[in-house]
A = this chain, B = another copy of it.
């Protein structure tokens, strides 16, 4: 049930972009510095995010990436699906990319209790990721930082 490093890194970078006043571009170099991700690897991730219209780019000096929409219009679920595929633990339980079970002894999908369970899991994951936007995450991060600053001053 592990997230890949691509999904992990993409969410980190998008949170970083969401923390800035939108729209405001950051270069791959800057993003890599802030997150500790290998720049060339991050570049590929950004290209995929751009192809999916999650971010948009400006080339040349002073170029970089910025969110293609407001962070309140971007959910973590969308990003994770983009980088890691469907949320469901089994292809037969995916709503976005359904693939039937290959085992010939599997019961019909409607009557398969395991598929029913994987659907429950899928819905549970989606319940968290599809309702969490990057605006929400950025808000939480600001709150956490304010909290930390407070702790430090006392």
Contact = CB atoms under 8 A, between A and B. Distances in A.
Interface string A82-114: 001111111100000000000111110001011
Nearest to A118: B3
A15 B127 contact: no
B129 A121 contact: yes
Interface stretch (A20-28, A55-63, A65-73, A140-148): A140-148
Interface band, chain A: 35 or more
A52 interface: no
Contacts of A103: 12, 35-37
User: At the interface, is chain A mostly helix, strand, loop or mixed?
Assistant: helix
A36 B104 contact: yes
A137 B125 contact: no
A144 B111 contact: yes
A117 B128 contact: yes
B1 A35 contact: no
Closest 6 CB pairs of A and B: A36-B105, A124-B124, A3-B89, A36-B103, A113-B140, A111-B144
Given A1-B3, A35-B105, 17 more contacts: A1-B84, A1-B86, A1-B125, A2-B85, A3-B118, A15-B113, A15-B114, A36-B103, A111-B145, A111-B148, A113-B140, A114-B137, A117-B132, A121-B125, A121-B128, A124-B124, A124-B128
